């Protein structure tokens, strides 16, 4: 066996952990570029906590609070230009996946001469130091070397990967999620689940990532009753945050699978939330892998179900159905286009048991409520 493992981010977890551990921020420089979305960092208290920590340290900051959902390359370049203009020493990203993606990309762009048009083909070898404060429990981006931006040229979302954009510090405070609505809570939790499950189904799954993946899957499963009831308390919020960070530690080393390859299309073309898109696809993808395992051997699906405390995929799909509700209607023709477009994604070659184009289409068809087709309605 050959494998590599790296996850250098220092994680601190606990209520009020930014302020308690503000000395870590103090090591990063005199001035921060603080990158957030338009509202959430203001509403959930994370922005104020970060400002209090910086000010107590005698550090200054410049706020870039314009990151949209599914951020663009333009957005990351705008933030990077501000980091340069304002002579920022580090980037403090606060938010869900979108501010983290934009902020991490900006940290790399700010110290790397690169044209916008060459962004996705650039290998970034350096970046401003990054500190990350997740305000959702899904992306795991606080512990990954990835930034995922909308790629209009390829009509999908595309990730850049560089060890330079591993955040130096991740501050995990579940209190920022306590007023999060049910749909966001579920969608982000599905993203976290998908990371751990997909990690186990990649060609790079290893003895160093499987234990964390299984722990993340188990943590998600323990939260299912509260997710269904729509009443996660702070203890559940914290567990969802574990699940998310564990999922990030996993995919930092394994990458993702066909689920993400297809999910990015659903997000790009149908504006389906990223975590929900993965959740829609998981059940049928696991059925596909389970069928193949019957023929060629392997028990990954059994291990995943075991980590969830489930007997079979019917139970798994019942949970997904309960959490997802009514599925989106998408035409057969559109799904054929997504299968065609996904088959060459790098996540496909990273998938352990790799679907062909017809199998991708079959998974897609089974995953949505077809307007014209053999599955669903």
What is the number of other CB atoms lying within 10 angstroms of the CB of residue 211?
12
Looking at 5-13, 75-83, 311-319, 364-372, which segment touches a copy of itself (CB under 8 A)? 5-13
Residue 367 CA from chain centroid, whole number: 20
Q: How far is CA 215 from CA 13, 108, 143, 211, 339, in A?
A: 17, 31, 16, 6, 31
DSSP 141-193: GGG-SEEEEEETTTTEEEEEE-GGGS-SEEEE-GGGGTT--HHHHHHHHHHHH
Q: How far is CA 60 from CA 25, 32, 34, 90, 277, in A?
A: 11, 6, 10, 11, 39
Nearer of residues 71 and 216 to a copy of itself, judged by Cβ = 216
Q: Is 211 in the site for a copy of itself (CB under 8 A)?
A: yes
Any idea how long the chain is? Answer: 377
Nearer of residues 12 and 111 to a copy of itself, judged by Cβ = 12
Q: Is 6 in the site for a copy of itself (CB under 8 A)?
A: yes
User: Do 131 and 167 contact (CB within 8 A), yes or no?
Assistant: yes
Instruction: Report, in Å, the least distance between residue 108 CB and a copy of itself.
Output: 18
Q: Is 154 in the site for a copy of itself (CB under 8 A)?
A: no
Q: Is 3 in the site for a copy of itself (CB under 8 A)?
A: yes
CA angle 268, 271, 276 (to 5 degrees): 100
Nearer of residues 167 and 275 to a copy of itself, judged by Cβ = 167
Looking at 29-37, 45-53, 213-221, 322-330, which segment touches a copy of itself (CB under 8 A)? 213-221
Nearer of residues 2 and 295 to a copy of itself, judged by Cβ = 2
User: Do 166 and 107 contact (CB within 8 A), yes or no?
Assistant: no
Instruction: Report, in Å, the least distance between residue 9 CB and a copy of itself.
Output: 8
Per CB under 8 A, the list member of 22, 214, 260, 274 interacting with a copy of itself is: 214
Nearer of residues 216 and 263 to a copy of itself, judged by Cβ = 216
- Phi/psi of residue 35, nearest 5 degrees: -110, 120
Q: How far apart are CA 205 and CA 209, in angstroms?
A: 6
Instruction: Report, in Å, the least distance between residue 199 CB and a copy of itself.
Output: 13
Per CB under 8 A, the list member of 7, 81, 114, 224 interacting with a copy of itself is: 7
Mask of contacts with a copy of itself, 10-49, x by CB under 8 A?
A: xxxxx--x--------------------------------
Residues in contact with a copy of itself, counted by CB under 8 A, come to a total of 28
User: Do 117 and 151 contact (CB within 8 A), yes or no?
Assistant: no
CA angle 152, 158, 159 (to 5 degrees): 145
Q: Is 58 in the site for a copy of itself (CB under 8 A)?
A: no
Q: How far apart are CA 61 and CA 52, in angstroms?
A: 11
191: nearest Cα among 136, 145, 149: 136
Q: Is 53 in the site for a copy of itself (CB under 8 A)?
A: no
Nearer of residues 245 and 278 to a copy of itself, judged by Cβ = 245
Instruction: Report, in Å, the least distance between residue 206 CB and a copy of itself.
Output: 8
Looking at 73-81, 147-155, 204-212, 329-337, which segment touches a copy of itself (CB under 8 A)? 204-212
Mask of contacts with a copy of itself, 233-262, x by CB under 8 A?
A: -----x---x--xx--x-------------
Per CB under 8 A, the list member of 219, 261, 272, 339 interacting with a copy of itself is: 219
Report CA torsion sign: 207, 208, 210, 212: positive
Q: Is 5 in the site for a copy of itself (CB under 8 A)?
A: yes
Q: Is 161 in the site for a copy of itself (CB under 8 A)?
A: no
146: nearest Cα among 158, 157, 159: 159
Q: Is 123 in the site for a copy of itself (CB under 8 A)?
A: no
Instruction: Report, in Å, the least distance between residue 177 CB and a copy of itself.
Output: 15
Binding site for a copy of itself (CB under 8 A): 1-14, 17, 207-208, 210-212, 214-215, 219, 238, 242, 245-246, 249
């Amino acid at each position: 066996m050959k494998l590599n493992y790296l996850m250098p981010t220092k994680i601190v977890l606990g209520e009020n952990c930014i302020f308690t551990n503000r000395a870590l921020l103090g090591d990063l420089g005199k001035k921060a570029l603080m990158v957030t979305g338009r509202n959430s960092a203001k509403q959930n208290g994370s922005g104020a906590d970060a400002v209090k920590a910086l000010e107590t340290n005698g550090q200054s900051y410049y706020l870039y609070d314009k990151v949209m959902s599914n951020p663009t390359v333009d957005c990351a370049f705008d933030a990077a230009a501000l980091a340069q203009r304002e002579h920022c020493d580090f980037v403090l990203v606060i938010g869900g996946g979108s501010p983290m993606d934009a902020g991490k990309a900006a940290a790399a762009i700010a110290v790397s001469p690169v044209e916008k048009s060459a962004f996705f083909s650039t290998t970034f070898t350096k970046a401003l130091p990054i500190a990350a404060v997740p305000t959702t429990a899904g992306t795991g981006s606080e512990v990954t070397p990835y930034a995922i931006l909308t790629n209009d040229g390829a009509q999908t979302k595309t990730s850049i990967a560089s060890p330079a954009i591993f955040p130096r510090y991740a501050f995990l405070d579940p209190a920022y999620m306590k007023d999060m609505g049910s749909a966001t809570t579920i969608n982000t939790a599905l993203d976290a689940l998908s990371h751990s499950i997909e990690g186990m189904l990649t060609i790079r799954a290893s003895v160093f990532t499987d234990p964390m993946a299984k722990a993340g899957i188990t943590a998600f499963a323990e939260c299912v009753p509260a997710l269904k009831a729509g009443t996660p308390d702070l203890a559940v919020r914290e567990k969802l945050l574990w699940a998310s960070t564990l999922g990030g530690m996993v995919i930092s080393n394994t990458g993702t699978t066909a689920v993400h390859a297809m999910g990015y299309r659903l997000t790009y073309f149908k504006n389906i939330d990223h975590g929900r898109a993965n959740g829609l696809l998981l059940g049928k993808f696991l059925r596909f892998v389970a069928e193949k395992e019957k023929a060629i051997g392997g028990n990954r699906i059994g291990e995943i179900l075991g980590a969830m405390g489930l007997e079979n995929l019917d139970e798994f799909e019942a949970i997904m159905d309960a959490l997802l509700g009514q599925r989106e209607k998408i035409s057969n023709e559109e799904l054929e286009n997504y299968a065609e477009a996904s088959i060459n994604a790098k996540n496909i070659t990273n998938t352990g048991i790799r679907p062909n184009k017809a199998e991708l289409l079959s998974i897609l068809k089974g995953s949505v409520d077809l307007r014209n087709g053999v599955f669903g309605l």
